[in-house]
């Protein structure tokens, strides 16, 4: 919770703050006592092994799962008061792709929070939806049934739906999973564009080699919070060893990622 500075002015609230966040399934904790606060305007990677609670963290922050303890604040207010400022991109496997709906209808769903109950999308909403589809290069598919798209195309459509929400904070659950290289490149360009607009984006991510290039901050999880902070400070071999339990293949990926990043930085400095 934001505290007053000595000069009496209120500092800018964290984009997302969680305190003592605990989530349990059938009385077995999946996340335990997680605390962090992340400033606005950052691209944040959420990292950890399978079963570490990464998706659980995203869903709990969205209010989609009950909390056993703790609280979540968005820009200094309880989630319930600022939910309209949060956009969500779920995992592809969480979606019923056989539901009979076309691409435009899916993206327009992102406008419902702005419309309120029992109101139909207006011309302006359709124009915003079209612009969002254009940003992810899916406008030509606006009338296509969602079930007839490739995995990468489906992911682009759900990104367009999140963009249509015109949120300040985005929570994305593995948006890079199962997509081709061109889609991954398009997604990271989109995330960087959101950052340029002052938005904050949290991304559940698995590819450690791309972390230094993609994210400003990282959150390392393994049921508990291992560490969080700016990527250059936190994304270290030591911290990832604590997070992943010293898995050799993971540590090799980390060492390679850090080596490449250091080499790139040295090139920039010459």
| pLDDT number for residue 204 | 96
Q: Give whole-number Cα distances, 143 to 92, 112, 137, in Å.
A: 20, 19, 14
Return the CATH number at 51. Answer: 3.40.50.300
How many Cβ atoms sit within 10 Å of the Cβ of residue 162? 24
Number of structural domains the chain divides into: 1
Q: Give whole-number Cα distances, 175 to 159, 202, 214, 258, 267, in Å.
A: 8, 10, 13, 23, 30
| pLDDT number for residue 188 | 92
Contacts by 252-256, CB closer than 8 A, 24 or more apart: 253/208, 253/209, 254/208, 256/209
Selection from 108, 115, 152, 160 nearest residue 134 by Cα: 160
Rounded to 5°, angle at Cα 141 from 135 and 146 = 105
Contacts of 137 (CB under 8 A, 6+ apart): 156, 186
The per-residue pLDDT string of the chain (270 residues; one tens digit each, 9 = 90 and over) reads: 444 444 444 557 899 999 999 999 877 889 999 999 999 999 999 999 998 999 999 999 998 999 999 999 999 999 889 888 998 888 877 677 677 789 998 998 888 766 555 567 778 888 999 999 999 999 999 999 988 888 888 888 988 998 998 899 999 999 988 888 888 888 999 999 999 999 999 999 999 999 999 999 999 999 999 999 999 999 998 999 999 886 545 555 666 666 666 555 554 455
CB 232 within 8 A of CB 80: no
**Is residue 189 in a domain?**
yes
CB 157 within 8 A of CB 211: no
**Is residue 6 in a domain?**
no
| pLDDT number for residue 2 | 45
Query: What residues pair up with 88 in beta bridges, in sequence order?
Result: 171
**Is residue 20 in a domain?**
yes
Range of the domain at 223: 16-255
| pLDDT number for residue 4 | 43
**Is residue 168 in a domain?**
yes
**Is residue 7 in a domain?**
no
pLDDT, tens digit (0-9, with 9 covering 90-100), for 212-239? 999 999 999 999 999 999 999 999 989 9
CB-count burial class (<10 Å; 0-12, 13-18, 19+) for 146: buried
Q: How many whole angstroms separate alpha carbon 138 and alpha carbon 143?
A: 10
Indicate the SS3 state at residue 97. Answer: coil
CB 88 within 8 A of CB 79: no
How do strand 77-78 and strand 69-74 relate by DSSP bridges?
Answer: antiparallel
Q: How many whole angstroms separate alpha carbon 63 and alpha carbon 78?
A: 11
pLDDT, tens digit (0-9, with 9 covering 90-100), for 96-109? 767 778 999 899 88
| pLDDT number for residue 6 | 45
**Is residue 240 in a domain?**
yes
Query: Can you say whether the dihedral through the CA atoms of 255, 259, 265, 269 is positive or negative?
Result: positive
Q: What would the two tokens of residue 127 be?
A: 């124009």
CA atoms within 13 A on the CB side of 64: 14
CB 231 within 8 A of CB 216: yes
**Is residue 187 in a domain?**
yes
For 162-227, give the DSSP string.
Answer: HHHTT-SEEEEESTTTT--HHHHHHHHHHHHHHHHTT-EEEEE---GGGHHHH-SEEEEEESEEEE
The whole-model pTM stands at 0.83
């Amino acid at each position: 919770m934001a505290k007053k500075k000595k000069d009496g002015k209120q500092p800018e609230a964290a984009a997302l703050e969680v305190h003592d966040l605990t989530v349990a399934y059938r009385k077995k904790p999946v996340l335990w006592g997680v605390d962090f606060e992340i400033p606005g305007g950052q691209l944040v990677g959420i990292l950890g092994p399978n079963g570490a609670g990464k998706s659980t963290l995203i869903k709990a922050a969205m209010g989609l799962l009950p909390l056993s303890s703790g609280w979540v604040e968005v820009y200094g207010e309880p989630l319930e008061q600022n939910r309209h400022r949060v956009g969500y991109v779920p995992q592809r496997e969480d979606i019923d792709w056989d539901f009979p709906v076309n691409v435009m209808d899916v993206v327009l769903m992102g406008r419902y929070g702005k419309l309120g109950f029992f109101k139909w999308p207006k011309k302006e909403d359709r124009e915003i939806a079209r612009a969002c589809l254009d940003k992810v290069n899916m406008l030509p598919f606006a009338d296509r049934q969602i079930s007839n798209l490739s995995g990468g195309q489906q992911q682009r459509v759900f990104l367009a739906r999140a963009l249509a929400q015109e949120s300040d904070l985005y929570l994305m659950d593995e948006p890079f999973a199962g997509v081709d290289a061109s889609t991954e490149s398009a997604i990271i360009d989109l995330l960087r564009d959101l950052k340029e607009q002052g938005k904050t984006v949290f991304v559940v991510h698995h590819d450690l080699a791309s972390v230094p290039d993609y994210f400003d901050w990282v959150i390392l999880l393994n049921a508990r919070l291992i560490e969080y902070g700016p990527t250059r400070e936190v994304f270290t071999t030591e911290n990832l060893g604590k997070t992943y339990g010293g898995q050799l293949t993971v540590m090799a990926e980390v060492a390679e990622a850090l080596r490449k990043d250091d080499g790139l930085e040295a090139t920039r400095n010459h």
